[in-house]
Amino acid sequence: MSKHSQNAISVYAPASMGNVGVGFDLLGAALAPIDGSLLGDKVSISAIATGVEFEQVGPWAHKLPTELTENIVYQCAEFFLDKLQTNTGVKLVLQKNLPVGSGLGSSASSVVAALYALNEHFDKPFDEQALLLLMGEFEGKISGSVHYDNVAPCYLGGMQLMLNTQDKVCAAIPSFKEWYWVVAYPGISLSTAKMRALLPEQYDKGVAIDFGRYLSAFVHASYQQDSKMAIEVLKDVMAEPYRAAAIPGYLDAREALTQLGMLTTGISGSGPTLFSVTDSLEKAQQAKEWLEQHYLTEQGGFAHVCQLDEQGTRRV
Ligand code: HSE
Between CA 52 and CA 90 the distance in angstroms is: 5
Q: In 204-302, where does DSSP find H-type helix?
A: 205-224, 227-233, 240-243, 250-259, 281-294
* Ligand 1 centroid distance, CA of 160 (Å): 14
Query: What integer pLDDT is reported at residue 3 of this predicted model?
Result: 46
Query: What integer pLDDT is reported at residue 142 of this predicted model?
Result: 81
- Per-residue pLDDT tens digits for 279-312: 999 999 999 999 999 999 999 999 999 999 999 9
Best probe residue, ligand 1, of 148, 196, 198, 247 (max atoms within 8 Å of C-beta) = 196
Q: In 122-191, where does DSSP find H-type helix?
A: 128-143, 151-156
Residue of 251, 141, 265, 135 lying closest to 193 (CA atoms): 141
Q: Which domains does the chain have, with CATH numbers?
A: 9-173 (3.30.230.10), 180-308 (3.30.70.890)
Q: Which atom of ligand 1 lies closest to the CA of 16?
A: 8
Query: What integer pLDDT is reported at residue 66 of this predicted model?
Result: 84
Regarding the beta carbon of 18 and ligand 1, being less than 6 Å apart is answered yes
Query: What integer pLDDT is reported at residue 2 of this predicted model?
Result: 41
Binding site for ATP, by residue number, is 99-109
What are the Cα distances from residue 90, in Å, to 9, 54, 73, 122, 124?
Answer: 11, 9, 12, 10, 15
What are the Cα distances from residue 2, in Å, to 82, 95, 128, 305?
Answer: 13, 27, 19, 43
Question: To the nearest whole number, what is the mean pLDDT of the chain?
Answer: 95
CB 13 within 8 A of CB 131: no
Query: What integer pLDDT is reported at residue 6 of this predicted model?
Result: 56
Regarding the beta carbon of 219 and ligand 1, being less than 6 Å apart is answered no
Best probe residue, ligand 1, of 106, 141, 147 (max atoms within 8 Å of C-beta) = 147
Pairing of strands 16-18, 180-185: unpaired
* Ligand 1 centroid distance, CA of 85 (Å): 34
- Per-residue pLDDT tens digits for 49-99: 999 999 999 999 999 988 888 899 999 999 999 999 988 999 999 999 999
Give nearest CA residue, ligand 1 atom 7: 269
Between CA 305 and CA 36 the distance in angstroms is: 10
Q: Does residue 193 carry a pLDDT above 60? A: yes
Percent pLDDT > 90 in the chain is 90
- Per-residue pLDDT tens digits for 120-162: 999 999 999 999 999 999 998 887 888 999 999 999 999 999 9
Q: Does residue 1 carry a pLDDT above 70? A: no
